[in-house]
Amino acid sequence: MHIILVSNRMATARSITLTGGRLAFIAAALLALLLALSSLLSYLTVRHAAEIRMPALQELLRTISLEEAGKTHEMVRENLLNMASRLGQMQGQLMQLDSLGERIAGLAGVKTNDSKAAQPAKAGSDGRGGPFTRPDNLNPDSLQRALDEMSRQVDVRSDTLAILESRLFEERVRKNLLPTALPVPTVIPTSNFGWRPDPFTQQNAMHEGIDFMAEPGTPILAAAAGIVQVAERHPQYGNMVDIDHGNGLLTRYAHAQQLLVKPGEFVKRGQRIATVGSTGRSTGPHLHFEVRVGGVAQNPMRFLGREGSQLARRH
């Protein structure tokens, strides 16, 4: 675009060429100038209205401010109510954890005073009181204190449950490694632990185990988990299995008909390891069961739990 300027003051006419870039620059400058003038006019109008105290404009500004404040207050109130409701739910869940912790503690044999102290007393059971605070009256500070206290209680419960878990795990391991399960399904002991007349010589001799009478081929079960130490034929014990349960504890199963495990094999509690027979120094089909601690024979009735106690009372 060419613009020709002609004036009496100029000896000759001048020509100005406007390119696309120059036109865009001029348009942008005009737009910026227009925005600046508009902002300045708005600022001067509001300031002037504030200085001269125009009632209509001041009322409009006050209404807008009140609406914004009301919305903010309502939002804060809803958030506080939601937080209070969630806090109540967490307190209820914490009470359930207390009850569960007490039951588990009873099974594990652990006393937990903290869980009892945290449980609320029944209404009328003790002297209590105080003002009733509605959820509407809650404030962020009180909620933060309640949340901090809840966090502390959760930490205490977590520590207590971790201790209970450890106790239960230890108890489970201990029970699995102690020979407390009966080694044969048929519970008919024919000879107990202690001194007795020898069945072959009739001389007084120490019987270092318990004899369980059973039919040939009856499964012999591991009384506890452990590692098979011996699975071989012995001149007197016949076909026998020794299982090492750790800490010097060993169980022996003798006079078997057939051995079902090998040395070095890990066996679980209640696993079949042999079958009842009459091999070795035996007068008939039965299982000779021993429990040894540090190589010294112990009375198996001390380990067989409830079933052992019932057998001891019968015989």
Rounded to whole angstroms, how far apart are CA atoms 242 and 256?
12
14-65 confidence digits (pLDDT tens): 666 666 676 777 777 888 888 888 877 777 666 665 555 566 656 766 777 7
Q: Are 311 and 241 in contact (CB under 8 A)?
A: no
Going from the C-alpha of 148 to that of each of 40, 92, 142, 160, 268, the distances in angstroms are: 51, 16, 10, 19, 47
Q: What are the structural domain ranges in the chain?
A: 2-48, 74-117+137-177, 189-314
Kindly tell me the sign of the dihedral angle through the C-alpha atoms of 169, 170, 173, 178: negative
Rounded to whole angstroms, how far apart are CA atoms 229 and 249?
12
Q: Are 287 and 276 in contact (CB under 8 A)?
A: yes
Q: Indicate whether 284 pLDDT > 80.
A: yes
The answer regarding whether domain 189-314 maps to CATH 3.30.420.40 reads: no
pTM to 2 decimals?
Answer: 0.51
Amino acid at 157: R
209-250 confidence digits (pLDDT tens): 999 999 999 999 999 999 999 999 999 999 999 999 988 999
pLDDT at residue number 116: 47
Of 176, 235, 186, 234, whose CA–CA distance to 211 is shortest? 186
Neighbours of 203 (CB within 10 A): 7
103-128 confidence digits (pLDDT tens): 777 766 666 554 444 444 444 444 55
